[in-house]
Amino acid sequence: MAQDRIGKTAVITGGGRGFGKAFGVALAAEGAHVVLVDRDGPEAEAAAAEIRSAGGLATGLAGDVTDEVRMAEIMAQAAALQGGIDILINNAGLHSEEYGKPITEMGLAKVRRLFDVNVMGLVGCTLAALPYMKGREGASIVNISSSAAHTGGSAYGDSKLAVAGLTITFARELAPDNIRVNAISPGLILTETIRAELPEVTKARVKAMQMSAIDGDEHHIVDAMLFLTSCKAEFITGETLRVTGGMAAGV
């Protein structure tokens, strides 16, 4: 396995499971020390322990991305590992069926919570990591948006549309600090959770919207992250890469 990230530190929010855990496994396999941050501290540590058992460098920490003080502590702790932070993946987000309902059903409190996590959490984590990323060679931030951002029709999609917008804003503002900022919009990715929980009729309906006939897999999102955080993407910033099998294609 390539060891292209040796000496690098990567902080991944929502790192205890799903995409976040997969990102950590992939970056650790390339030599990075990954810091997995999750509201569920034991789950974050369990994921980190798996990486360590495979020979990688990993730390699991408990933290809610809406907690400004805790995120500042975590970023300082992560930076102390190897002198700074090289990669930040803003992956934590609310996306359950509970937060996919119409706004009129969710009500103000749940909509506010949705945006606090998916939007303001991203802003808070980025600002907390910034002092430790400035001037780092190859420093990169990847935000996780969603295909729902490009199709409209839900508060969840609107929160992820804000992520795409913030990606452009931060790319512009952080460019003088030599930090690239990009986003990934996943489409229907058949993770174990999605396979188990999403009704077959829904999976079939969404897949029918794709141009590609293949199933979206977790490795498609991981591969996109590895590219965007690599030197191969050094001239790419402010972009949202749609990994949707063509489902969310647009100009």
Which residue numbers are catalytic? 156
162: its two tokens? 């804000």
Contacts of 145 (CB under 8 A, 6+ apart): 160, 161, 163, 164, 167, 183, 184, 185, 240
Q: Tell me how far apart the alpha carbons of residues 218 and 201 are, in angstroms, rounded to a whole number.
A: 21
Give the DSSP letter string of 189-201.
B--HHHHHHS-HH
Q: Could you count the other beta carbons within 10 Å of the beta carbon of residue 207? A: 18
Query: Does residue 249 contact residue 151 with C-beta atoms inside 8 Å?
Result: no
Q: Nearest CA to 45 among 28, 61, 56? A: 61
Give the DSSP letter string of 47-75.
HHHHHHHTT-EEEEEE--TT-HHHHHHHH
